[in-house]
Amino acid sequence: MFPGGRRRLFAVWRRIFDLSWPVMVEQFLRTLMRTTDIVVTALFSPAAVAAVGLADLYARLPLRIGLGLGSGVIALSSQDTGSGATTNRDEAITQAILIGALAGVPFVLFGFLFGRWAIDVLGAESEVARMGGLYLAIIFATSPARHVTLVAARSIQGAGDTRTPMYVNGVSNALNIVGTLVLGLGLGPAPELQIVGVGIATAFGNVFSALVLVAAIQRSWTPAGFVRPRQWTITRQLLAISAPRIAEGLATTIIEFPFNSILLYFGTEVNAAYQIGRRVYQQLTGPLSRGYRTGTSIVVGQTLGDGDPAGARYNGWAAAALAVVTIGSLGAILFVAAESLVALFTDDPETLSYASGFARAYALAAPVTALYIVLAGALTSGSDTQTPLIARVSGMFVGMLGVSAVGGIYLGYGVPAIYASIVVYYVWATVYVAVGFYRGAWIERTQTMMDERGSTPSKD
């Protein structure tokens, strides 16, 4: 029995990895692009690093909406691909992309009218607010395109094609990196625009990806397609799955505002160190985590659509085991090499010391973080985005905010308490999600929603 079980496990791992590796490559390039932004801005000043980091807090708002809609559409897309209900799948894709484009418009106005104020209200120094406001206005100008990119990529991935988004976003991220170097540093005949140039390069990448991915769907370069929207049931289900995921993203982003204020309480160098430490962790482990989450969502969703809930449950646990082993190993490497890795971003002794501590905190949390991300992806493909919402928000409130504020400021433990808060956050969230996945209410929810929209496969 054991050899057969082992073969089944390895077969699931191979399938997960086949779907995940293009996402890993795509996310590696995306993370490398953001890492390049930090490296280039670090050449200007610690204030420039803090400005980009604080502006990115707001930039995560449209990101969270795009990811939320993407979670809804990848759930419906994968389930309907597994059941063969391709018309329902394509309608969900069409509706999600339209909703995403419209949802980006308010951010365009906010960035133009309130960019500097948004940074200043966090307690940033005047120069940090000025630079961050400019950067934020440029990034927000392409929010509709960013939403379309995220939703279109998840739509295509849910249909089983993870390579097309990799190709498109890979080219986009490469162009973005080149643009950051050329416009930020003023290479060749280009002017040295510094932080403005970094923002322009990112904005260009957002628009490029959106246009090409939409063209890929329209011209049938992928299994996905566009159809005229007709079913309100699909609209309702799409929003029902997406809304908790959007709320999760928005709530966690909002919580990060006071968290960054706590960091700024200990100084600009501590805030910059946090941005660097987290960036090192994300560059090393983020591509695998996001790849495994997407691959798990596709496999679990398609298995549910095919009418095999027991197989979906097994696939979720198998994917989680693969993620813990691989990402946990990377976490061990990061813990040992933390000082050398953060030294690539800064040579300021104080910032370097704090950044090493943040990197090690994330390294310790890596195995449980991997477990959380994969099981949350499995729950999402099972139409349950409420459990990850509660897990993550409560974890951040108790861990990142509670431990940091009480331990760091009130009890006087300082920055080490902030290190501990990161580990507490992820342990809390992981336990909650694991219990929710084990109980299995997501299986019945998926079946009910498939019945409602007419996607349940015939048993004839």
Instruction: Give me the pLDDT at residue 455, please.
Output: 82
> Residue 2 pLDDT > 80, yes or no?
no
Contact indicator for 118, 133 with CB cutoff of 8 Å: yes
Please, which residues have CB within 8 angstroms of residue 208's CB and are 6 or more apart in sequence?
Answer: 171, 172, 175
Dump pLDDT digits (tens) for 96-143: 999 999 999 999 999 888 888 888 887 777 788 888 888 999 999 999
453 φ/ψ angles, rounded to the nearest 5 degrees: -95, 5
User: Which of 5-9, 157-161, 371-375 bottoms out in mean pLDDT, i.e. has the lowest?
Assistant: 5-9
CA nearest neighbour of 132 among 198, 39, 186: 198
Residue in this structure with the two tokens 């433990």, named with its chain if needed: 413
For range 218-236, the mean pLDDT: 88
Dump pLDDT digits (tens) for 257-273: 888 888 888 888 888 88
Instruction: Give me the pLDDT at residue 459, please.
Output: 59
Cα atoms found within 13 Å of the Cα of residue 322, Cβ hemisphere only = 26
> Amino acid letter at 272?
A
**Global pTM?**
0.83
* Number of residues in the chain: 460
CA nearest neighbour of 43 among 187, 139, 175: 187
**pLDDT tier for residue 192 given thresholds of 50, 70 and 90:** confident
Share of the chain above pLDDT 90, in %: 53
Dump pLDDT digits (tens) for 29-88: 887 787 788 788 888 777 887 888 788 878 888 888 998 999 999 999 999 998 888 899
Residue, of 348 and 299, whose pLDDT is higher: 299
Contact indicator for 64, 249 with CB cutoff of 8 Å: yes
Q: Give the CA-trace dihedral at 15, 16, 19, 24, to 10 degrees.
A: -140
- Three-class secondary structure of residue 188 per DSSP: coil
Instruction: Give me the pLDDT at residue 252, please.
Output: 83
> Residue 229 pLDDT > 80, yes or no?
yes
Compute the distance between CA of residue 274 and CA of residue 266 in angstroms, rounded to an integer: 11
Contact indicator for 81, 159 with CB cutoff of 8 Å: yes
CA nearest neighbour of 210 among 135, 291, 151, 139: 151
What the block records as the tokens of 253 is 């982003």
Instruction: Give me the pLDDT at residue 1, please.
Output: 36
What the block records as the tokens of 337 is 């090499």
For range 200-220, the mean pLDDT: 93
List Cα–Cα distances, 30 to 171, 179, 249, in angstroms: 10, 14, 19
**pLDDT tier for residue 3 given thresholds of 50, 70 and 90:** very low
> Amino acid letter at 457?
P
Instruction: Give me the pLDDT at residue 4, please.
Output: 57
Dump pLDDT digits (tens) for 430-444: 999 999 999 989 999
CA nearest neighbour of 226 among 87, 329, 324, 359: 87
